[in-house]
Amino acid sequence: MTEVKDDVLVNHLAKQGVDDKMVLGHPASLFVLFFTEMWERFSYYGMRALLTVFLVSEITKGGWGWSNEEAMSLYGWYTMLVYATPLLGGIIADKLTGYKKAILLGALVMTLGHASMALEGFDKNFFYLGLLFMILGNGLFKPNISSMVGQLYPNTSAKKDAGYTIFYMGINAGAFLGSLLCGYLGEKIGWHYGFGLAGVFMFFGMLQFFFAQKIFGIIGDQPKGKGIIGETKKEEEEEHTPANVVRDRLIVVAVLMVASIFFFFAFEQAGGSMSIFAKDFTQRVLVGSAATTFKWIDAALTILPILIVTYVLYSLAKKIAGKYPLTIFFTALSFLAITFLGLWKVQREFTSLETEVTVSWFQILNAFFIVTLASSFSKFWERVWNPTGPVKFALGLLLVGIGFVALAYGSMSIPQGAKTASVSMIWLVLAYFFHTTGELCLSPVGLSYVSKLSPKKFLGLIFGFWFLASAIANKLAGVTGGLIDKIAENFSMSTFFLIIAALPVGAALLLLIFSPLLKKMMHGIN
């Protein structure tokens, strides 16, 4: 079937000097960003899947033997700073380097961070140095790659939300593979192998972006105000936007940012209190038919996402391999390595005498559900029902709350003050499912609305503020996650999860009440 071209989108790309080749109805350049972000998220989530478990694991098992509260404190500080530094990274890109150079420098610094963490067995200071590099590199990388996605589409394009959803699928493909493989290597073979593997694929991501820079035309070449062709015209157009309209739109952005704090405060329990729940309170040693069933499910979960993303790579390669061969070469090479590791893991589990689900395995569920559901959500918004951003945010908040209600119900059998239990895995699986559907309603939509509602000359800075909101949420997640032992001891584990559920649900109800007013304040942007 012949692909129908979107003339408005093609004209927009031509003005930016962007290659107008299309893949699955979107610019090929979107998929270069898709794979770059995928490997960066592989590195981040691969390390995050191990962080809390590594810190609380016994010293005899190679961990540091920290208490849950100590581990959650470091986790909270680390994830907060990871999301706070994009504010500075956005300013640096806007004023000094441009997006492309900031992304490449950030990728290099993060690669060095992973290499340092892999050396933690020699000296603990290598671990802390690695965390510092990860924080700084992420600050340069994260806001600027999101900004580049937004600039591929005109604000009036109906495909912009869909483009961000596809990009978000790339984020979560990386998160899935990173949690799966780095988590497995770290817990089953050795912590430093897991930390080191994350850096290898960050390096691959950097190379494939480096060799495809020209596909983006002038987008991301220079900082704003340094005479980028076309940018002056854009800023002149923005000068005609009345000040009250700009103000109202920024107020909406601010409201959405506050709402995102309530969402991510709950959602980011995944790397903290939900990991502790998986480690100490979930039945992870399986026998008999349960073990066999898990092995087949795990094999499918390992292989299916690799096949899906390989198809995306094949679609991209058909369009740009001739012009950007090294980009396709390094991406294909990384996929060969991933496929080998995935098959090795499946074979090792099928021949193992004991089936013990790793703690980090549960963190792949969020990413797996996103990889499999993202395109369906994208089509649903385009073809069936496309409510305003605030309504989508409210849906996301309600769904993440339902996920914690499921966990509260599942943990009702845990006695007050218990240190261990063997709750069925199904409750964590259900929680991650609801969290994922909530995330698909909120995260890609949030990125898209920040891009559409913000003045272009401040776009990198405002994306930085978006990630600063996530920083606050992550710190709150660390603090509240650290209370899991105290609340479970004084009340119950169910009470802990119900408290987490109540906050996003309350925020959702407020958003629904004020959504008509917020829609009016967006002044025509939907």
Which phi and psi (to 5°) does residue 282 adopt? -115, 140
pLDDT band at 230 (very low <50, low <70, confident <90, very high): very low
- Rounded to the nearest 5 degrees, what angle is found at the Cα of 471, between the Cα atoms of 482 and 163? 125
Which phi and psi (to 5°) does residue 518 adopt? -65, -40
d(CA 447, CA 150): 8
CATH architecture of 244-284+361-525: Up-down Bundle (1.20)
pLDDT of residue 4: 53
Which phi and psi (to 5°) does residue 306 adopt? -60, -40
Indicate the average pLDDT of the chain.
88
Fold topology of 25-223+287-356:
Growth Hormone; Chain: A; (1.20.1250)
Q: What is the pLDDT of residues 422-466, one digit of tens each?
A: 999 999 999 999 999 999 899 878 878 888 898 877 876 787 788
| Percent of the chain residues topping a pLDDT of 90 | 54
- From the list 298, 454, 290, 265, the residue with the least C-alpha distance to 364 is 298
- Alpha-carbon dihedral 455, 458, 461, 467, rounded to 10 degrees: 10
Q: What is the pLDDT of residues 262-289, one digit of tens each?
A: 999 999 999 889 999 999 999 999 999 9
Give the 3-state secondary structure of 256-290.
Answer: HHHHHHHHHHHHHHHHCHHHHHHHHHECCEECHHH
Whether the pLDDT of residue 143 is over 70: the answer is yes
pLDDT band at 229 (very low <50, low <70, confident <90, very high): very low
3-state secondary structure of 2: coil
Environment class of 338 (CB within 10 Å of its CB; exposed 0-12, middle 13-18, buried 19+):
buried
Give the 3-state secondary structure of 62-128.
Answer: CCCCCCHHHHHHHHHHHHHHHHHHHHHHHHHHHHHHCHHHHHHHHHHHHHHHHHHHCCCCCCHHHHH
Ramachandran sector of residue 57 (left: φ over 0; alpha: ψ -120 to 50; beta: rest): beta
Q: Tokens 């993303």 belong to which residue?
A: 309
pLDDT of residue 239: 55
Contact (CB, 8 A) for 367 and 173: yes
Lowest mean pLDDT among 70-84, 208-222, 281-295, 460-474: 460-474
End-to-end CA distance of the chain: 30
Whether the pLDDT of residue 232 is over 50: the answer is no
Contact (CB, 8 A) for 63 and 191: yes
Environment class of 308 (CB within 10 Å of its CB; exposed 0-12, middle 13-18, buried 19+):
middle
3-state secondary structure of 454: coil
pLDDT of residue 477: 95
DSSP label at residue 216:
G
Q: What is the pLDDT of residues 372-411, one digit of tens each?
A: 787 788 788 888 888 988 999 999 999 999 999 999 999 9
Q: Do domains 25-223+287-356 and 244-284+361-525 have the same CATH topology?
A: yes
Spatial neighbors of 52 by CB under 8 A, at least 6 apart, are: 71, 72, 75, 271, 272, 275, 276
Which phi and psi (to 5°) does residue 57 adopt? -70, 150
23-27, 118-122, 198-202, 491-495: which has the highest mean pLDDT? 491-495
* Residue 365 to residues 34, 81, 173, 428, 494, Cα–Cα distance (Å): 20, 25, 11, 9, 22
Whether the CA torsion 345, 346, 351, 354 is positive or negative: it is positive
Whether the pLDDT of residue 48 is over 70: the answer is yes
Mean pLDDT, range 309-319, rounded to an integer? 90
Mean pLDDT, range 242-269, rounded to an integer? 94
d(CA 292, CA 506): 42
d(CA 26, CA 169): 14
pLDDT of residue 49: 87
Environment class of 165 (CB within 10 Å of its CB; exposed 0-12, middle 13-18, buried 19+):
buried
pLDDT of residue 61: 83
Q: What is the pLDDT of residues 346-369, one digit of tens each?
A: 999 999 989 999 999 999 898 878
pLDDT of residue 327: 93
49-63, 298-312, 507-521: which has the highest mean pLDDT? 507-521
Whether the pLDDT of residue 28 is over 60: the answer is yes
Whether the pLDDT of residue 309 is over 50: the answer is yes
6 or 13: which leads in pLDDT: 13
425 or 90: which leads in pLDDT: 425
pTM over 0.85: no
Indicate the domain borders of the chain: 25-223+287-356, 244-284+361-525
Q: At what angle do helices 159-184 and 28-56 cross, to 10 degrees?
A: 40
Q: Tokens 């959803």 belong to which residue?
A: 165
